[in-house]
A and B are shown apart, each in its own frame.
Chain A
Amino acid sequence: MREITYEQAATEAIQEEFRRNPRTVHMSTDLAADLQQEFGPDRIRVTPIAENSFVGASIGLAGAGFRTVSNLRMATFGFVAMDQMMNHAAKITYMFGGQAKFPVLYRMTVGAGFSGAAEHSISPYSMFMNVPGLKIILPTTPYDVKGLLKTALRDNNPVISFEHFLLGGMKGEVPEQEYLIPFGKACIRRKGSDVTIVALAKMVYSALDAAEELAARGISAEVIDPRTLVPFDREAVIKSVKKTGRLVVVDEACQTCGAAAEIIAMVTSDKGAFRKLKAAPARVCGLDIPIPFSPPLEKFAIPDAEKIVKATRGVMR
């Protein structure tokens, strides 16, 4: 099968969906050259550096029957548009009693590990999980980003795609023929029987590295990539924990009030899963500090395979 990069796969998803539906508009502060060449400057628009206004414009377009993709580049820039995302995009379907649909897709990069320092590195998805009305996806492979973005572009709700900054150039197999990946369906990246490791975003790869090392020590880890946070595939995680009896959740985001806490609460408040637990679940998260610049500081702040191995061995005792 052919291999393309994560970013190429994302572009293909937009191209295919924009061909299907002419009432689509793309907005970004940088020119999306491939898209503009095919769809023209009316639909592929370069915006001023004014995140709040072009995110707001996407809502107005949606209210008028268009679908939009707004590429905010980094999640930290997305914070500039919090009013429009949190107060409006998330709420107006509900606030207006479901009179209209608001199909908007916001793409933002997340993560750390590239010495971007605090204002270019963050994984803020749990903040958005706390605001009902948004769907949240975390594509981790070229195959997934294409399938999930295509689904996002057919969904009738605001969808935020959080894409790890360091995955953009990653290559992977993506079939030529069309496919979609439904929201709320986790992917078991590695099968195992002793412990369930749920890993988010790029941490899926660190968890797979850790699982390899754990296997060498005789521990069989199952690695689950939820792929979407809202909706979340609760059943897949609970089923796995019922089988393994142990849970480790890995997330690069800060630990406090993070997605990992929610996932653990989800499992431990399920009576069936709780009864099967052989050890207290563990979290391996980013430290509760802004992401520092200097490489040794940054490495210390975020999880890696070594930290995951350590935490997993902890729950195995």
Chain B
Amino acid sequence: MLAIRRFEERVAQEVYAGNVPGFVHSYIGEEAIAAGVCLNLDRQDRIVSHHRGHGHCIAKGADMKKMMAEIYGKKTGYCKGKGGSMHIADFSIGMLGADGIVGAGLPIATGAALAAKLEGKGKIAAVFFGDGACQEGEFHETLNLASIWKLPLLFVCENNHYGVNTSAKYSLGAGEITRMPEAYHIATRSIDGNDVETVYQAAAEAVAQLRKGDGPYFLECKTYRWHKHFLSEGLEDLRPKEELEAWKRKCPISVFESRLIREKILTEGKAKRINARIMEMVEDAHDFALSSPYPLPEDALQDVYSA
């Protein structure tokens, strides 16, 4: 969680300084979900992410250096500078990529889940998406497909309650998101997505069921993003200020850290040391990105097709 937070803070700082091209969607505020879910996954389990995907990459074990380089559009990035912030992938760790079209990762994840089922080794797939994706047709198609094929697919709905500035209260006719997977006879739970222990335990139960081959599982994780839809001076944030402040008091990191200190599992000194080590990793990643070369213009012609 802390690694995601510090990474995202560094990225945001550089975006607002004008040093990063393109659109960056910050995961700050939602870290407990990626961390709590991915801790339950093996390297061979596959995940599919979305435009707000940095957290999922870090939680699945991606290399921060190659992530940062990609965000800067450098040749040493995960995608050689062809994808950027919204499209980081690392197939070697089962991170099948982040898709920038809302809801589009869902069908792709059904394929990864079907592959896991056909391989028959108890592997699973997990797909991260938001409340916005629940408004897309692909969402319903995927619930249906995963249900009738009993796919080992973990649906992780990061319900941050807004699509850009439009409230899900307005755009979701079903009211509660969980009513939709339930309608497709999918095991469903709604949890506090800001409490990493809750997420971890719920994901552990879900993953155990998935590995048994009992069919898909749907976890709705309620959360909130602290930044605007994407990092931009120009973009308005029309969400109520008091709502954001209330959710900030439920910060997944500080709440968990306080609990650990209160329960004497962690000391303040140790917390500081962990933080310092993470800061160092993030700085190393940033230095790596800055010192890396840009791709050659004509590198644009490579990778359109595979050999």
Contacts and interface: CB of A to CB of B under 8 A. Distances in A.
B57 interface: no
Contacts of B99: 87-88
Interface stretch (B85-93, B207-215, B236-244): B85-93
Contacts of A42: 118
A61 B113 CA distance: 8
B307 interface: yes
Contacts of A99: 78-79, 89-91
Given A64-B115, A87-B101, A97-B80, A156 B137 contact: no
B110 A48 contact: no
10 contacts: A48-B145, A53-B141, A59-B111, A60-B96, A94-B304, A96-B79, A96-B83, A97-B80, A101-B306, A132-B304
B144 A48 contact: yes
Given A56-B108, A60-B96, A92-B89, 13 more contacts: A52-B138, A53-B138, A56-B104, A57-B111, A60-B110, A60-B112, A83-B104, A94-B82, A96-B91, A97-B81, A98-B80, A99-B90, A99-B91
Contact of B108 (A47, A59, A65, A133): A59
A100 B108 CA distance: 14
Nearest to B153: A60
B173 to A, nearest CB: 20
A311 B262 CA distance: 87
Nearest to A65: B115
B305 interface: yes
Interface residue tally on A, bucketed by range = 35 or more
B223 interface: no
A-B pairs, 10 with minimum CB distance:
A60-B111, A56-B107, A64-B115, A97-B79, A53-B141, A98-B303, A57-B111, A97-B80, A61-B111, A50-B141
A156 B107 contact: no
Given A48-B148, A66-B118, A57 B79 contact: no
Contact of A83 (B96, B111, B118, B138): B138
Contact of B306 (A53, A55, A93, A132): A93
Given A60-B111, A64-B111, A97-B82, A102 B141 contact: no
Scoring B116, B125, B303, B307 by chain A CB atoms within 10 A of each residue's CB, the highest score goes to B303
A48 to B, nearest CB: 6
A58 interface: yes
B142 interface: yes
B152 interface: no
A276 to B, nearest CB: 30
A54 interface: yes
Contact of A87 (B79, B104, B149, B304): B104
A156 B307 contact: yes
Interface string A255-296: 000000000000000000000000000000000000000000
Scoring B78, B106, B141 by chain A CB atoms within 10 A of each residue's CB, the highest score goes to B141
A84 interface: yes
Scoring A56, A65, A95, A157 by chain B CB atoms within 10 A of each residue's CB, the highest score goes to A56
Contacts of B114: 25, 57, 60-61
A92 B145 contact: no
Nearest to A58: B111
Scoring B118, B304, B305 by chain A CB atoms within 10 A of each residue's CB, the highest score goes to B305
Contact of A97 (B107, B303, B307): B303
A43 B145 CA distance: 15
Contact of A64 (B81, B89, B112, B303): B112
A83 B101 contact: yes
Given A88-B104, A99-B79, A157-B306, A63 B148 contact: no
B109 interface: yes
Contacts of A202: none
Interface residue tally on B, bucketed by range = 35 or more
A50 B306 contact: no
A54 B110 CA distance: 8
B48 interface: yes
A198 to B, nearest CB: 24
Interface in A14-57: 25, 42-43, 45, 47-48, 50, 52-57
A133 B306 CA distance: 9
Interface in B99-140: 99, 101, 104, 106-116, 118, 125, 137-138
B286 interface: no
A107 interface: no
Contacts of B82: 94-97
A135 interface: yes
A309 to B, nearest CB: 39
Nearest to A52: B138
Contact of A54 (B80, B125, B145): B145
Given A83-B138, A93-B304, A157-B306, A53 B96 contact: no
Nearest to B118: A42
Contacts of A186: none
A135 B306 CA distance: 11
A65 to B, nearest CB: 7
Contacts of A55: 107
A156 B108 contact: no
A62 interface: yes
Contacts of B90: 99
Interface in A88-115: 88, 92-102
A185 B115 CA distance: 34
